[in-house]
Structure 1
């Protein structure tokens, strides 16, 4: 660091890419594993392998994802925890000070995870039980959670559970779209103004992230 070379660069790891230090390492891994076979090549042969790598990558038909998505394993985990009733909404008592300071915000959804019962270990003559931590406050505006798993992968079971409870996403992780078009039968009826189909408009716009 103290030598004459000063063109140092620092690659900041984006959220959701926790497998390696930065996206550049992903390219190096493919190049070393598939093209150079972890061998030290000369300049001419290395340039030829780089050209082959670029030509093969240019015809790749797989879509390039610019943001991390929800994995099937995480959706299955949320479904399993929901089936065992280990995930639930935590509501603070109205007479507590925390309700006045924190829970009064409508854009925060508190998700409480209840640890499962541990099996008694006869070898150590003890039972290891997990401590139930406080509820994780999921911000419904930014769709973020303060847990360590979300900080590493930009998604977690708390966020998915909160989005499903607020009817933002379905069981497959897709956005919920609501049809609010008024039916022709109600439109032709004589009387008061027809009521729009779907959920009430006070909940929020259907095709927009709240």
Structure 2
């Protein structure tokens, strides 16, 4: 944490089922632009209350001053809709220099999902489509435009109108302290959810360390054993488990593999600039091809998890034509990603992808794409494909050639014994003929 506060996001989240007395363990840490979580401190709380969180933050500030010799500063703080953490941050808002408290987007989606229990798939698809449009907003003005569209669409849906869903969403997620869940509040590439911290919490419950030790072995511990357990975690994450802090964004393994699948099925292509307009060096046009019915089938795969048939799911978005031959292509297009996230690979703000694709820049430290997905994640399938097409590494540097040309005059190749590649005759070096070579351990 002893670095520029604009280069990380502060997370804190309580996890249970660690000790037998059900005391929550508060995990504090930071995530870098690569979305890697770096634990900083652990607190064992009596309960999740404003007083307990305030005590934990004050203790963290004191420890930082003791170790680093200066005051702790936080620019971005990730939170959920719980009041206790938010109120405790407000108590030290100016001392910490907090610029904004971000809302965990996953927490919003999870709460909306609970609110929509029992509604038709068509209504759910309508809600999430507009929520993701608002989430990918690049400014307040764009958010306001998407919100107006959402109100009009939700107001015309009888199910949502009967549940007063528009009023609920406005009161809880627009006109409240939990409204900063749009990507323009977070620097590109950084996490927009509390997932880095929550994934680390699983370390206590499930994850193995060095494929040998499981911390909790899926069981609870006594209070004293819990302190010993936390001490072991602190020691390991301060030594061999310590992850390097990333200064630059890098594509995830899932995104790289999905891009490979898209290339395999010819769903990404480079459009020659002479067909559009000239581009400067280091820029190309990359077009993402959305196969017919791919979005429909992607929704089908998602909704099937909710015990709906593929036909029902496809009908929910108005597409009843399903060609079995398209399933492989749809599976490649939909691989390991959310359908609404995929839609924003083909959008720039609210503008659809033009026929010639997106303008992609692949110069060192200047990776850029016009799509919404890149605006959020600082990486996308278009950039990865453009880097491969222009033979550059993930940072935009030209790949090192695997073969080199020999400079100067060249002579005929010879072996170490002076023989050329041909089988007959003596070489220019004067080596012996094959007939003159004796057997092993034999002298002339």
Q: Normalised by the shorter chain, which TM-score bucket?
A: 0.5 to 0.7
CA displacement, residues 150-180 of structure 1 (integer Å, 9 cap, x when unaligned): 222221100010000001139xx99731156
Q: Which runs of 5 or more residues in structure 1 are unaligned?
A: 36-44, 191-210
Matches within 5 A, 1:99-118: 99=277, 103-118=278-293
2:271 maps to 90
Q: 8 Å contact 2:273–2:284 — kept in the other structure? A: no
The answer to whether the Cα contact below 8 Å between 2:393 and 2:399 also exists between their aligned partners in 1 is: yes
Number of paired residues? 174
Q: Distance in 2 between matches of 1:20 and 1:168?
A: 31
1:156-175 alignment, distance < 5 Å = 156-169=380-393
CA distance in 2, matches of 1:164, 1:70: 13
Structure 1 residues 39-118: aligned runs within 5 Å? 53-61=233-241, 63-66=243-246, 67-91=248-272, 99=277, 103-118=278-293
Max Rg structure: 2
Shift of 1:104: 3.3
Residue number among 176, 194, 201 corresponding to 2:399 in the alignment: 176
Shift of 1:90: 2.0
How far the C-alpha of 1:144 sits from its partner, in A, is: 1.8
User: What is the alpha-carbon distance in structure 2 between the residues aligned to residue 27 and residue 85 of structure 1?
Assistant: 34
- Equivalent residue number for residue 137 of structure 1: 359
Give the whole-Å Cα distance in 2 for the aligned partners of 1:27 and 1:126.
Answer: 37
CA RMSD of aligned residues (A): 4.6
- In structure 2, the residue matched to 1:203 is none
Deviation at 1:189, TM superposition (A): 3.1
Name the CA distance, whole Å, in 2 between partners of 1:169 and 1:5: 41
Q: 1:73 to 1:140 in 2, by over 3 A?
A: same
Matched residue of 2:95: which SS? coil
For 1:81 and 1:27, the matched residues in 2 are separated by: 28
Q: What secondary structure does 2:319 align onto? A: coil
Residues 71/158 of structure 1: CA separation in 2 closer, same or farther (3 Å cut): same
Aligned residue in 1 for 2:190: 17
Higher strand share: 2
Give SS of 2:262's match: helix
8 Å contact from structure 2 (residues 285, 358) kept in 1: yes
Q: Does the 8 Å CA contact 2:273/2:279 hold for their aligned counterparts?
A: no
Aligned to 1:153: 377
Go from structure 1 to structure 2 and tell me whether the alpha carbon gap of 1:63 and 1:176 turns closer, same or farther (over 3 Å shift). Answer: farther
Report the CA distance between 1:75 and its aligned residue.
Answer: 1.9
Could you state the TM-score of these two structures normalised by the residue count of structure 2?
0.31
Q: Residue 414 of structure 2 corresponds to which residue in structure 1? A: none
Identify the structure with bigger relative contact order (alpha carbons < 8 Å, sequence gap 6+).
Answer: 1
Q: Distance in 2 between matches of 1:68 and 1:54?
A: 26
* Alpha-carbon distance in 2 for matches of 1:108, 1:174: 13
Q: Deviations over 1:20-54 (max 9, x none)?
A: 3697x57995799789xxxxxxxxx9998875543
User: 2-side partners of 1:20 and 1:4: how far apart?
Assistant: 22
